[in-house]
Amino acid sequence: AQKITQTQPGMFVQEKEAVTLDCTYDTSDQSYGLFWYKQPSSGEMIFLIYQGSYDEQNATEGRYSLNFQKARKSANLVISASQLGDSAMYFCAMRDYNYGQNFVFGPGTRLSVLP
Amino acid sequence: DTGVSQNPRHKITKRGQNVTFRCDPISEHNRLYWYRQTLGQGPEFLTYFQNEAQLEKSRLLSDRFSAERPKGSFSTLEIQRTEQGDSAMYLCASSLVDGESSYNEQFFGPGTRLTVL
């Protein structure tokens, strides 16, 4: 069965520093997509970045980059130059094509950016 | 386009009552998803529609839950005989899927927070 693990319930980072949020996943399929979403206190899920299982390059979107290590089944999110507005819950999710169209989400990591 | 909208944003009800939530997806999106999120957890998939057809339902979707998307546009999620365990945030998401690929960015609405007393 699909499973997403995020081992860091909470993380603190100083403003302007970089932070890595961990995500490991479990799937037996070769074709899947990995996503990161941000959920601020307002509740809305905001898409950040995507990595396909066949993508050879690590995905980057502005200050967000994804450290994809397929053999280790990890897809860590790196946020560079943290800003106070980055304080939120961060969810790693996977869409495994052979298991249908839904996403499986991890339990999330709460990131707090300190001034 | 104003994104995915959900109504109401908050709903408080007494145990045993029926409740209905509405989701309006992004207009050109053909897929619509419902998720449930309890405090401190990630969203859990409930069901999804491709246009008006309900193609997949989670085991989480008990007989008390029913979802419809009658014209392939907005969707409703009804919970009958609510229980305290139904208290959660109900999230709707939509996506435009053209062909089959693992990339399927879902755009989420703000959610409906249900409290069952």
* pLDDT (tens digit per residue) in A36-87: 999 998 888 999 999 999 988 999 999 999 999 999 999 999 999 999 999 9
When pLDDT is averaged across residues A23-31 and rounded to a whole number, the result is 89
Band of residue B58 on the pLDDT scale cut at 50, 70, 90: confident
Inform me whether the pLDDT recorded for B101 exceeds 70: no
Q: What is the pLDDT of residue A40?
A: 93
Chain B hits for A101, CB-CB cut-off 8 Å, are 31, 33, 48, 50, 55-56, 97, 104
Q: Which two tokens stand for residue B106?
A: 């879902």
Tell me whether strands A109-114 and A10-14 are parallel, antiparallel or unpaired: parallel
Triad B109, B114, B116: Cα angle to 5°: 170
Band of residue B114 on the pLDDT scale cut at 50, 70, 90: very high
Rounded CA separation A51/B103 (Å): 8
| Residue A49 touches partner B, C-beta closer than 8 Å | no
Asked whether the beta carbons of residue A50 and residue B109 sit closer than 8 angstroms, the reply is no
Q: Please tell me which residue, A47 or A29, carries the higher pLDDT value.
A: A47
DSSP A98-110: GG-S--EE---EE
When pLDDT is averaged across residues B45-55 and rounded to a whole number, the result is 91
Q: Which two tokens stand for residue B81?
A: 């005989």
- SS3 for B86? helix
Asked whether the beta carbons of residue B42 and residue A106 sit closer than 8 angstroms, the reply is yes
Size of interface A-B (CB pairs under 8 A): 71
